[in-house]
Structure 1
Amino acid sequence: MTRALVAVLVGLLILAGGLVLRRSAEPATQTVAEVLAFGGVVIAVIGVWQLVTRFLESRDN
């Protein structure tokens, strides 16, 4: 459960970093920022998925 929560928090942190970098004027930096933001969303979604799965498994027991 802790790993899933950490994954969500790390994903949100990476997403925030990507959104901050997105304000840069350089196109190359904006591209990197979009990749970071997308990766952060993917990691956060995986973490939420793990949280929900573990919650449902613990509820069945």
Structure 2
Amino acid sequence: FAGWNAVSSYGSYISAFGVVIFLYGVWEAFSKKRVAGNNPWGEGATTLEWQLTSPPPYHQWEQLPRIK
């Protein structure tokens, strides 16, 4: 079972490395406090979720928008 033990160990190292990268991303996001853009996907993103500013104001629409 030594081979499978090695595979399992390598997998755990890769998973731990991914967790470290994730935690660095969370730390970096909270420490720099950059404001998110209104539409990070560009002009082609015209679906409903990108029609609001970021962060969206409270009660943006008085009536629900019609979805086709």
TM-score range (shorter-chain normalised) is 0.5 to 0.7
Higher Cα Rg, which structure: 2
Give the paired residue count.
35
Is 2:7 the partner of 1:32? Answer: yes
CA RMSD in angstroms, aligned pairs only: 1.5
Unpaired runs of 5+ residues, structure 2, are: 36-68
**CA positional deviation for 1:57:** 1.1
Aligned to 1:51: 26
Larger relative contact order, structure 1 or 2 (CA cutoff 8 Å, min sep 6): 1
Unpaired runs of 5+ residues, structure 1, are: 1-25
Query: Normalization by structure 2: what TM-score?
Result: 0.48
Indicate the structure with greater helix content.
Answer: 1
Query: Normalization by structure 1: what TM-score?
Result: 0.53
